[in-house]
Amino acid sequence: MSAVPLRNNKPAAAAIRSVTVLGATGSIGDSTMDLLRASPERYRVEALTANSNVAALAKLAKEFSARFVAIADASKLAELKSALAGTSTECGAGESAVIEAGARPADWVMAAVSGAAGLKPALAAVDRGAHVALANKECLVCAGDFFMQRAAKAGACILPADSEHNALFQALASGNRDELVRVIITASGGPFRTWKPADIEQATLEQALKHPNWSMGQKITIDSASMMNKGLEVIEASYLFALKPDEIDVLVHPQSIIHGMVEFSDRSVMAQLGSPDMRTPIAHCLGWPERIKGPAARLDLAKIGQLTFEAPDFERFPGLRLAFDSLRHGKGATTVYNAANEVAVAAFIAGKIRFGAIARLVEATLEDWIRGGNQGPMTSADDAISVDHVSRNKAAALLPQIALKAS
């Protein structure tokens, strides 16, 4: 049975739900804490984690009377304990403590630790059969088959917290899996949707960070500008919903009102609409199988006036094509795609490469991986982390020649 509850297997909602937030001080964590703050009678906080922001973590721990907190930076344990002196909150630090937070007995876990560091804590929650709201891309992009198989075996319930996947999750409830023809993931097109490829090549960091619709962190905003984020979402959707590459389409929708659609065999197409606000999919996950009151603006279609669509341009956005290529190749290629992109984006932010070189570095790293023949199935978190590490090193090694070609 799928770990994503598509239809007719909704459990009864608990009266008071215990909650853990892995990555409580990041952007997804902030939105999650806002929702918990709005319904204190429904939720009790079991555990919270942060990477290095002791002050923010301690403040949240006090506000929500968290039972356990973990800071990933092990050197900050004493500072965290000092900040929480006089409270009953247990403190931990380092990777093992963050994993412990995921393993603690909470009904619902938000997995929002970014990067490969989020994989093991999410698996700890999965292994005890929790409801896991998944906002960490690496769990699927780097270890999708392994992660979903482990979730199904443990009886965990995976709830997609990303807006597009949450839209598909809701739309898929309208039919059975064997009735599905395709899913359609929408994309705003980002700030460079109408730019010429030659102009995109020279785009500045400031220009890449001007997303037309969404307010997001720096990395994901740049990924949106390159449409690498949509490539990652294609890969995630494949693993989440057991889809083949040819069952996934991407459609550019500049207004970002329709977040995802599903076409069924009778040619009905079910769509999920809403204002572009990450709190909406998080609220859906947090309340599931019920619906809770969300803080996003109500949708006013008359005011919006029209919704438009266009096919994605693979010449403008080669990163999207590379995502489909890596998914078809399999055997670790999606892990390589993600790792190389992270190295490329960091290099772009640091001014080491042009914007257009991001996709070229990803492509070069993928080609090297495939040529090397060092591919095999992912059977553990350590396998995925190892491929991620090797790929980052290879991308870093290829960086100078990619930068030189672009100069």
Q: Are 140 and 236 in contact (CB under 8 A)?
A: yes
Q: Is 18 annotated as a binding residue?
A: no
Q: Is 28 annotated as a binding residue?
A: yes
Q: Is 226 annotated as a binding residue?
A: no
Q: Is 233 annotated as a binding residue?
A: yes
Q: Is 393 annotated as a binding residue?
A: no
Q: Is 136 annotated as a binding residue?
A: yes
Q: Is 230 annotated as a binding residue?
A: yes
Q: Is 53 annotated as a binding residue?
A: yes
Q: How far apart are CA 219 and CA 140, in angstroms?
A: 18
Q: Is 188 annotated as a binding residue?
A: yes
SS3 labels along the chain: CCCCCCCCCCCCCCCCEEEEEECCCCHHHHHHHHHHHHCCCCEEEEEEEECCCHHHHHHHHHHHCCCEEEECCHHHHHHHHHHCCCCCCEEEECHHHHHHHHHCCCCEEEECCCCHHHHHHHHHHHHCCCEEEECCCHHHHCCHHHHHHHHHHHCCEEEECCHHHHHHHHHHCCCCHHHEEEEEEEECCCCCCCCCHHHHHCCCHHHHCCCCCCCCCHHHHHHHHHCHHHHHHHHHHHHHCCCCHHHEEEEECCCCCEEEEEEECCCCEEEEECCCCCHHHHHHHHHCCCCCCCCCCCCCHHHHCCCCCECCCCCCCHHHHHHHHHHHHCCCHHHHHHHHHHHHHHHHHCCCCCCCHHHHHHHHHHHHHHHHCCCCCCCCHHHHHHHHHHHHHHHHHHHHHHHHHHC
Q: Is 217 annotated as a binding residue?
A: yes
CA angle at 286 for the pair 102 and 41, rounded to the nearest 5°: 100
Q: Is 331 annotated as a binding residue?
A: no
Q: Is 118 annotated as a binding residue?
A: no
Q: Is 223 annotated as a binding residue?
A: no
Q: Is 178 annotated as a binding residue?
A: no
Binding site, annotated residues: 25-28, 53, 136-138, 162-164, 188, 211, 217, 224, 229-230, 233
Q: Which residues are annotated as a binding site for 1-deoxy-D-xylulose 5-phosphate?
A: 137, 163-164, 188, 211, 224, 229-230, 233
Annotated binding site for NADPH: 25-28, 53, 136, 138, 217
Annotated binding site for Mn(2+): 162, 164, 233
